[in-house]
Structure 1
Amino acid sequence: MTYRTVDLATWPRAAQFQLFRSYQKPHYAITSRLDVSNIIARKAGGLSAYRACLFAIGAGIHAVPELCMRFRGDQVVRHDMISLSMTVPKAAGSFGYAYVPFVADFAAFDAQAARLITAVAAGRSLAPNTGERDDLAYLSCMPWLDYSSINNALPGPEDCIPRVTWGKFVQNGDGWDMAMTLEVHHALVDGAQVGAYFGAVQDALHKL
C-alpha cells in the first residue's frame, strides 16, 4: 500500500482529530438519496447495476482526501488508493469478503470487479480483514430494503475505516433513486466531507 504521512502541524483538522479521538462513540452515519435513473436506463444494454454502484462509491471516496486517511496511534496517513471490500453472497447462504482495488476507468474496474467477485462467490473462505490492512472501505448492499437509516457493527472507537451501504432501487416519479449511507470516524471526517462524497458519487452515477 502506498501512502503519505499527514503533517499534523499544518493539517487544518488537527484540533478536531485530537478532540474526537477521545470519544467513546466517535462514529456517525449519514443517509442520503441518490438518483440512479441512468443505471436503470443502461441495464438493458448489459450494465451491472451492482458494479456500477461499486464504481461510483469508489469514485466518491477518492474524490475526498479525508476518506482516504487513516490514523495509526497519533499518526495520520493518507492512502493513494483505497480498495473496496464488499460482502459477496454464496450459494449455501453464507458470504465471503472480496477486495477490489479501485480503478478510475469504469471498463477496467468493471472487468476486474466481476472477476474478483465471481472468485469469492465460488470459494469457501470468509477472508475477513483482521487488522492487517487499513487501505480499505467496507461496502454492503441491501437490495431488499428501501431503508431510511442504518448503522454498522464496529469493533471499537479505534476503527476508522469508512462503511458504505446502499439499498433498493425504487421508482420516484419518472426516475429511480436509492438510499445510501456513509458511516465515518469523526476524528477524520466532518459533515462537509460527507456532503462532498455524496456529490461525487452522484456525479459518477450520472456519467456512467
Structure 2
Amino acid sequence: MAVVTAENQKEHFTGPVENDVYQFSALPWITFTHISHTDFGNREKAQPIFDWGKYHEREGKLMMPFSVQVHHAFVDGIHIGKLADKLQRYLDEV
C-alpha cells in the first residue's frame, strides 16, 4: 500500500515548512571542519540542520565530520552535547 501511495504521489512538502521537521544533508564527497547555512535573517526558522561528510582515517582512527546548526531559541548546547555523545557511543559500537 505504501509503495503504491509513494509511486502515485506527484508533489512532496507542498505546504509551509513547520518547526517539526529537519534538514539532513549527506556530503560523502568532502570532509570539512566547518559548514554553515544561510537563513536569510529568518528569525522563525527553527528547523535543525544536520550535515555528514566523508569519513577519513587520522592517527589510526576513523573520523567523520558531523555538523549541527540550530536556532538557540529552541535548542541549548547541552542538547547538542547529548546528541554528540549518543552518536559517538553508537559509532564506537559499529
TM-score under structure 2 normalisation?
Answer: 0.74
Does residue 181 of structure 1 match 2:72? no
Gaps of 5+ in 1: 1-115
- Greater RCO, 1 or 2 (C-alpha within 8 Å, sep 6+): 1
State the distance in 1 between where 2:14 and 2:37 align: 16
CA-based RMSD? 2.8
Number of positions where the alignment pairs a residue of Structure 1 with one of Structure 2: 89
- Cα-to-partner distance string for 1:76-119 (whole Å, 9 max, x where unaligned): xxxxxxxxxxxxxxxxxxxxxxxxxxxxxxxxxxxxxxxx9xxx
User: Structure 1 pair 169/129, CA: closer, same or farther in 2 (3 Å)?
Assistant: farther
Amino acid at match of 1:182: V
Q: CA deviation at 1:133?
A: 4.0
2:30 is aligned to 145
Q: Matched residues, percent identical?
A: 24
**3-state DSSP of counterpart to 2:88:** helix
Gaps of 5+ in 2: none
Going by fraction, where is helix more abundant, 1 or 2? 1
- Cα-to-partner distance string for 1:144-195 (whole Å, 9 max, x where unaligned): 1111111124361101111100111111122211111000011111222211
Show structure 1 runs of 4+ deviating over 6 A. Answer: none
